[in-house]
Chain A
């Protein structure tokens, strides 16, 4: 059964870099079955797509975040990661890792709350 699990620090200081990892089990992330994505949800608010990565290197980022975000893959660990730099309180959110590929929709990890605070 395919599962995704987020990990990383729950507290990040303003102006620093938020780094999260998603560990995938049940399928190899470089077999071409899915795009691998990060999505976030500020407390009490809606959903914001951050970016998606395909194993061939194709990457799409949200234009509102593209200057601060990098998604990368570690095929040896079957993981993919999110780096978001120069964070502010507005980056406080639950961060989800996810998989998607047409024609179906998004399948989500359980999420991890990251708070930006000094």
Chain B
């Protein structure tokens, strides 16, 4: 199985901050990586796919980069609606696997 490791597990930030979350794969997954945002009591919501493609309707302050084994999700200017938990997920191979999540908290 491909292991996905996210860091940090928790991040404290203020509105307007630039925030970066890292996701590492245990082997190369090319660009087959997605990012999701999850708020309490809700299903995850797709933000980015194929590492750097922005899902329709997602604000442009979100961006993704990386390929191979190292990936990042960046929020250029954190907004109140962005406080949530973020997950990366690889879909290069089965079983599909997720990172452990990064919770973005209010500082």
Given A96-B43, A102-B91, A106-B89, CB of A49 within 8 Å of CB of B49: no
In the complex, whether A76 has a CB less than 8 A from a CB of chain B is: no
A104 touches B46 (CB 8 A): yes
B106 an interface residue at 8 Å Cβ cutoff? Answer: no
Residue A107 lies at the interface, judged by CB distance under 8 Å to chain B: yes
Listed stretches A17-25, A78-86, A108-116; interface member: A108-116
B8 CB within 8 Å of chain A:
no
Number of A-B contacts (CB under 8 A): 61
A105 at interface by CB-CB < 8 Å: yes
B81, CB-defined interface residue at 8 Å: no
- Which B48-97 residues have C-beta < 8 A from chain A? 48-50, 53, 55, 87, 89, 91, 94-97
Q: Give chain B's interface secondary structure class.
A: loop
Contact partners of B44 in chain A: CB under 8 A:
47, 96, 106, 108
In the bound complex, do residue A105 and residue B34 qualify as a contact, i.e. CB atoms below 8 Å apart? yes
CA separation between A52 and B91, bound complex, in Å?
12
| In contact, B43 and A105 (Cβ under 8 angstroms) | no
How many A residues, CB 8 Å from partner?
22
Contact A60 B98 (CB under 8 A): no
Contact A110-B43, Cβ < 8 Å, known A46-B87, A103-B53: yes
A57-86 interface with B by 8 A CB criterion? 60-63
Question: For residue A52, which residues in chain B have a CB less than 8 angstroms away from its CB?
Answer: 94, 96
The distance in angstroms between the C-alpha atoms of A64 and B45, with both chains bound, is 25
Residue of B nearest to A107 (CB): B46
Q: Which residues of A contact B96 (CB under 8 A)?
A: 37, 49, 52, 100, 106
> CA separation between A118 and B66, bound complex, in Å?
47
Question: B residues engaging A (CB < 8 A)?
Answer: 1, 32, 34, 36, 42-46, 48-50, 53, 55, 87, 89, 91, 94-101
A positions within 8 Å CB-CB of B: 37, 46-49, 52, 60-63, 96, 100, 102-111
Apart from A103-B50, A105-B89, 13 more pairs, CB < 8 Å = A37-B96, A46-B98, A46-B101, A47-B44, A47-B87, A48-B98, A96-B44, A100-B96, A105-B46, A106-B89, A106-B96, A108-B43, A111-B43
